[in-house]
Chain A
Amino acid sequence: MKQEYDIVVVGAGPAGSMAARFAAEQGVSVLVLEKDRDVGYPVRCGEAISKEGVAEFITPDEKWITARISKFAMIAPDGTEAVIELPGEGYILERRIFDYELAKSAAAAGAEYITRAYVNGLIIEDDTVKGVKYQFRGADKEVRAKIVIAADGVESRVGRWAGLKTHIDFRDMECCTQATVSGVKLNTDTCYFYFGENVAPSGYFWVFPKGEGIANVGLGVSGAIGKKRSAQSFLNTFMEQHYPNASVLTCIAGGVPCSPTLDKITGKGIMLVGDAARQVNPLSGGGIASGMIGGKLAGITAGEAIKKGNLNHIHEYEKRWHDRLGRRHETFNRIKEGIYNFKDEKFNAIAHSFNKVPYEKRSLGNLFTTALINQPSLLIDVAKVFLVK
């Protein structure tokens, strides 16, 4: 390894690896530092993504697709199930393999990786980030870089050290826990979403099939709910009610920052991508595809900046992100805030009225329209998302 790189990326999740790949493809030198021993593990994710979200980055491969999704089921608090055929295909991933494949693609493009490299500070000179400090096998080390890309996820400390306001309001943090269980009966082509005060207030509970008899079962609740009752407690209750005899193969915790993108995702010598930049879709909590898009845009822009010899060019990334997804996420966030405080009766009413729509005419768009029929101010936002595109 070298003492100095054009670009150092902190974090080897999907956003970090895509930033690394799209930068390295332009012939600039890239180093990725990953805190954990393995890229892709431990997984902290429900693992659902749309086919189009994947296809922009990697050819779909059976070795990391555990289930192909064609239906969305909303389960209201009273048990009413409203099922919709999705317009496109979705996947439930095996993230520990998927992330690894993304890293391989970045390495093939020329990016270097080091795992078990714990970044604990920045090199800052003249108010500009010039590299990172890290620990590796017990030794303190430093590596210089013209640009540091922070893909350090929900912790998002690297941006803070650079003076960006990356701290997450606890009310925006969806605090999640998930069990991967075996021995459950469900349709392997359907993603199930449970709503209600007793299952996941202010969030939702998911059951995503991961092949025959296996599912990711989990939920997220805002830190504002966590103040009174933890995600773990909700998961325990759900498991007792629905899957008392299932074997738990994996049990994980994790956080999803559900807010619009940060105001500033670049600074002097630094760019933020993925969860660290708040690039999660704040309505769904999905962040794999949007994180990869953020990483790609950052990687391209960083590579261009190095080649031009103009580091101010990195600020162009903010505009590119907002044009591609950032503004759309602001709309999603307004919808999220609209449905955040729905009471159980409302979810029940939505499911009942939605089930009166003939099956072939159902869509996610008209589910939301039904959901928001009593919230006229939000209908404009919904129209923006589903009609205008």
Chain B
Amino acid sequence: MSEIQYRQAKNGKLLIEILPDKCDFCGCCVGVCPEDAIELKEAEIYIIDPRCTNCAKCIWSCPIEVIKLNKNGVPVK
């Protein structure tokens, strides 16, 4: 069994997870992100890990609960 690898944010483990299957790609999270750490294309969204500070403003601003706080960290897939 190999050890679980976690995605790394600017200040430790990445704790923010965007669920792309549920996303409407509306851009609220991008607008409120203080670090410009979210990439949003036509129908593709992801966090730019080294910029994220886990501040959670994207979670609060998502109108449809697509972004979650994962306290254990987000594993590398």
Contacts and interface: CB of A to CB of B under 8 A. Distances in A.
B36 A160 contact: yes
B57 interface: yes
A167 B62 contact: no
B63 A177 contact: yes
A interface residue count range (under 10 / 10 to 19 / 20 to 34 / 35 or more)? 35 or more
A223 B57 contact: yes
A157 interface: yes
A173 B42 contact: no
A116 B44 CA distance: 13
B15 interface: no
Nearest to A276: B31
Contact of B28 (A169, A224, A251, A255): A255
Q: Is the interface of B mostly helix, strand, loop or mixed?
A: loop
Interface string B7-31: 0000000000000000011111011
B60 A223 contact: yes
A160 B26 CA distance: 18
B34 interface: yes
Given A153-B27, A223-B32, A170 B60 contact: yes
A116 B39 CA distance: 15
B76 interface: no
A337 to B, nearest CB: 19
Most chain B CB inside 10 Å of its own CB: which residue of A35, A223, A231: A223
A70 interface: no
Given A155-B40, A173-B32, A223-B57, A231 B64 contact: yes
A37 B63 contact: no
Contacts of B60: 170, 223-224, 226-227
A346 B57 CA distance: 30
A154 B40 CA distance: 12
Contact of A167 (B24, B33, B63): B33
Given A232-B63, A253-B63, A44 B30 contact: no
Contacts of B28: 154, 173, 175, 223, 253-255
Contact of A44 (B26, B33, B34, B40): B26
B26 to A, nearest CB: 4
Contacts of B24: 42, 251-254
B77 interface: no
Interface in A146-160: 153-157, 160
Contacts of A177: 63-64
19 contacts: A35-B41, A36-B42, A118-B41, A154-B26, A154-B28, A155-B31, A157-B36, A167-B34, A170-B32, A170-B57, A175-B62, A177-B64, A223-B61, A227-B60, A230-B65, A231-B64, A253-B64, A254-B27, A257-B31
Interface of A: 35-37, 42, 44, 116, 118, 120, 153-157, 160, 167-170, 173, 175-177, 223-224, 226-227, 230-233, 251-255, 257
Interface of B: 24-28, 30-34, 36, 39-42, 57, 60-65
